[in-house]
Structure 1
Amino acid sequence: MTVVEKPALTRAAVVEAAARIAPHVRRTPTERSPALSQLAGREVYLKLENLQRTGAFKIRGALNALTRLDAATRAAGVVTASAGNHGQGVAFAAQLVGAPATVVLPQGVPLAKLTAIQRSGAETVLADGGYDEAHAVAIELARERGRTYVHAFDDDDVIAGQGTVALEFLEDADELDTLVVPVGGGGLIAGIALAASERRPRLRIIGVQSESASAFAESFRAGRVVERAAATIADGISVRRPAERTLAIVKKYVDDVITVSDQAIARAIVVLLERTKMLAEGAGAAGIAAVLEANGRVGGQRVGVVVSGGNIDPNLLGKALQQGLASAGRYLAFRTWLDDRPGMLHELTGILSEERINILHVGIHRVGPYAGIGRVGLDVIVDTRDRAHADAVLALIRGKGFPAEELLDTSPSS
């Protein structure tokens, strides 16, 4: 039996994909951000895929893959596994081409992503565990039902579709010297790398992962696929194991894959909201976190960042904002102890009031481990301007004779 090798994926496939999907996707804006440029000390341009139809870039790869299926295969239907955004893309594309679709998602998928998929008419199945467990369930479902499985990143047509992001980005901002791309399984960065592969002068391409889901970064360093735990605020890039296919492309064309902390991602969500009025999910903010906080590892003077999506669950958004504000020093949570006698609480609040420090919360512990004989534990949250101001407030309280310990580790990560 003769085995015919499939030709290697090239930039030409990305160009073909762009023509194929153009009638159905939005050409999202490319914007220079004065605010982020000032913060980063270099020119920063954003490719706003959070404004894409379905709220993320994933529609591009899904649509390219499904439009290439023949009529009989479409009629039989498709199955996929997704952390949310790819599932929305497949559901949208399946509705467009008239194919039945089933999307398998992790149990903890953000509700906003789940309901968006259901609104598109796709069947949804929830699987225990994370993306990788959902993938295993989806593969079995596809086999049982005789349907085509559309992988979220380990698929040439999906990779080519995702690469169309870079064709638009570089056409709109051809002066860029660096591209920064969020990475989960590697479909987006592989497609972008192919799209930019023939550009001269050559672009630097940097991938970004959460340090809490770092399988691709570690695979890149090791030169082979490795598996790692994945639990991050950036659910869209929470993948335990990348694909050989995407890693091979990235090893050939990408300069580095780095990691940032979830705290840095949360701060980036806050910065995007405050300074650019843009809402990004955790994966979408990862590149911004790297540009602002990666201690020079990104490099470049004209940097393009892909804001890959904006589908963040409102409950998660609240937690992200809280963590982001706290880690940026925008409020201070501390615990202190008072003598259990009249006037002590008034004395503490008077110190804060004199400095015009707004008190957000006071919790009193008269029983339990934070109280003692003649002593009362007090948890306090106050508004602060930044990290330096938070440190100054702690010093003020301690200087007035009140022992105080910070309740949250809010120091910036390295």
Structure 2
Amino acid sequence: MELPSLSELEQAAAIVYSVIQPTPQYAWPLLNEELGVETWVKHENHTPTGAFKARGPLVYIDRLLEREPGVKGVIAATRGNHGQSVALGARRNGLVATIVVPRGNSVEKNAAMRGFGATLVEHGSDFNESREHALALAERDGLHMVPSCHPDIVAGVASYWLELFRAQPGIDLVLVPIGQGSGISAAIAARAALGLDVQIVGVVSAHAPAYALSFAAGRSVDAPVSTVLADGVACRVPEQTSLDLILREVDDIITVTDDEVARAMRLYYTCTHNLAEGAGAAALAGALQLRDQGRLRARRLGLPLTGGNVDAAVFGAILRQA
């Protein structure tokens, strides 16, 4: 993937801001105390879909219609947040949206996608099986398949990194959850466009370690998925476009367990009273792990709270564990 210029990122941001206002970043005193470092949380849980992914498909669909004005409908595979975002972008442009999710997907994320006007199809046991089915439906029904990671999606997502880096230019380390790679690719793009010296460390689930194994091997490595909490990073097969960029630009990738994610979800709630879904708390889980290992070396830390779409029953059980 060729990194976009600052001008190109700002053009994408203008599309995002026609629908979504910039989200806040806060340094929460109790969280600073817990981590022992000044920490800026970027609240992407405050977008209209409750997650950072709202930004990318707005840009993708806007530019798709410039290239292919005859498109009547779009389709995507998701565990939830990408699907809500595709549905939002489709509704804004008068398109029908079909979203394919794995069986047993989050009940509340499914409801939210339907709320944005999407037709939901449940198929497969994981994201990759859903994706294969979505591709088949796209061909059968003449729908445009919206990918999880694409330069236009990355450009849209990068708008939140521009906001954070410009608001707090002294940040020298960011931890970024990796699902299909649009979030970390966007961090890389914004860092390069602004000419910053910021260390970027990816965070994946220890129960979905494909990107961590691929980073260590220097090539794509598939891995089974068994995470219960971090469905937003439940990737079995790395996205090659984002993996190539990660291998070239990312400083490290660490893994966190579901127990560590649950701990981070509780900490976000007690320190900030914000809900974080599993993937949304993964960056904080990574920061806690680095702190516990004596490896959290930063003057100013940036953590994206990438989403807050967690089912009430799941979150209630996590709070009760405390």
Give the TM bin, normalised by the shorter chain: over 0.9
Aligned to 1:353: none
- Counterpart Cα distance in 2 of 1:27 and 1:297: 32
The answer to whether residue 22 in structure 2 is matched with residue 9 in structure 1 is no
| Deviation, structure 1 residue 293 | 2.2
Are residue 315 (structure 1) and residue 313 (structure 2) matched?
Answer: yes
SS of the equivalent of 1:86 reads: helix
Q: Tell whether 2:25 aligns with 1:30.
A: yes
Alignment deviations for residues 18-47 of structure 1 (CA, whole Å, 9 cap, x no partner): 122111112110111211111111111100
- Structure of higher RCO (CA pairs closer than 8 Å, 6+ residues apart): 2
Partners in 2 of 1:41 and 1:11 — Cα distance? Answer: 35
Q: Name the CA distance, whole Å, in 2 between partners of 1:130 and 1:220.
A: 22
The CA distance in 1 between the partners of 2:314 and 2:196, in whole Å, is 41
Secondary structure in structure 2 of the residue aligned to 1:14: helix
SS at match of 2:160: helix
TM-score where L is the length of structure 2: 0.94
Partner secondary structure for residue 92 of structure 1: helix
Contact 1:73 1:148 in 2 (8 A): no
Cα distance in 1 between the residues matched to 2:315 and 2:21: 25
Render the CA deviation track for 1:52-78: whole Å, top value 9, x for unaligned: 111001111111101112265564210
Task: Measure how far apart 1:172 and its partner are.
Answer: 1.2
Does 2:177 align with 1:179? Answer: no
Is contact 1:186-1:216 (8 Å) kept? no
CA drift at 1:15: 2.6
- Aligned-pair identity (%): 36
Q: CA deviation at 1:9?
A: 3.4
Distance 1:68 1:201, change over 3 A: closer
Name 2:302's counterpart in structure 1. 304
1:144 partnered with 2:140: yes
Cα drift, residue 225 of structure 1: 1.1
Residue 110 (structure 1) aligns with? 106
Q: What do the CA deviations read for 1:77-106 (whole angstroms, capped 9, x no partner)?
A: 101000100000000110001111100011
Match of 1:93 in 2: 89
Q: Which amino acid aligns with 2:240?
A: E
Say if 2:265 is the partner of 1:269: yes
Q: Which runs of 5+ in 2 are unaligned?
A: none
Give 1:161 shift.
1.4
* Cross-structure match for 1:20: 15
**Corresponding residue number in structure 2 for 1:285:** 281
Q: Which has the larger radius of gyration?
A: 1
Residues 310-389 of structure 1 mapped to structure 2, 5 A cutoff: 310-323=308-321, 325=322
Give the Å deviation of 1:306. 0.4
1:56 aligns with 2:51: yes
CA drift of 1:320 comes to 2.6
Are the counterparts in 1 of residues 4 and 193 from structure 2 also a CA contact under 8 Å?
Answer: no
- 2:228 aligned with 1:230, yes or no? no
Q: Aligned residue for 1:248?
A: 244
Distance 1:226 1:200 in 2: 31
- Please list the CA deviations of residues 171-205 of structure 1 after superposition, one character each: whole Å capped at 9, or x if unmatched: 11111111111111111101111111144451001
| Matched pairs, number | 317
Structure 1 pair 141–297 and aligned structure 2 pair: CA distance change class (3 A):
farther
Partner AA of 1:254 in structure 2: V
Give the aligned CA root-mean-square deviation in angstroms: 1.5
Decide whether aligned partners of structure 1 residues 50 and 178 sit closer, same or farther in structure 2, where only a CA change above 3 A counts. Answer: same
Tell me, yes or no, if the aligned pair for 1:163 and 1:189 is still in contact at 8 Å: no
Give the distance between the partners of 1:117 and 1:208, measured in 2 at CA.
26
Q: Going by fraction, where is helix more abundant, 1 or 2? A: 2
| Secondary structure of the structure 1 residue equivalent to 2:41 | strand
Once the two structures are superposed, residues 252-304 of structure 1 have per-residue CA deviations (whole angstroms, 9 ceiling, x without a partner) of: 22111111111011011111111111110000101111112232445312000
**Counterpart Cα distance in 1 of 2:43 and 2:88:** 19
1:83 equivalent in alignment to 2:79: yes
Contact 1:219 1:226 in 2 (8 A): yes
CA distance in 2, matches of 1:14, 1:296: 36
Query: What letter is aligned with 2:256?
Result: V
Query: Aligned partners of 1:211 and 1:73: how far apart in 2?
Result: 42
What is residue 362 of structure 1 aligned with on the other side? Answer: none
Residue identity matched to 2:3: L
Aligned counterpart, 2:165: 170
Secondary structure of 1:164 counterpart: helix
Per-residue CA deviation, residues 207-244 of structure 1 (Å, 9 max, x unaligned), is: 11111111111111111111111121111111111111
The amino acid of 1:142's aligned partner reads: A
Q: Which residue of 2 aligns with 1:125?
A: 121
CA separation in 2, counterparts of 1:322 and 1:229? 29
Change (3 A) 1:62 1:198: closer
**Structure 1: runs of 5 or more not aligned:** 1-6, 326-414
With the length of structure 1 as denominator, give the TM-score of the two structures. 0.74
Is 2:154 the counterpart of 1:159? Answer: yes
Report the 3-state secondary structure (helix = DSSP H, G, I; strand = E; otherwise coil) of the residue aligned with 2:303.
strand
Once the two structures are overlaid, the 10-residue window that deviates more, 134-143 or 252-261, is 252-261
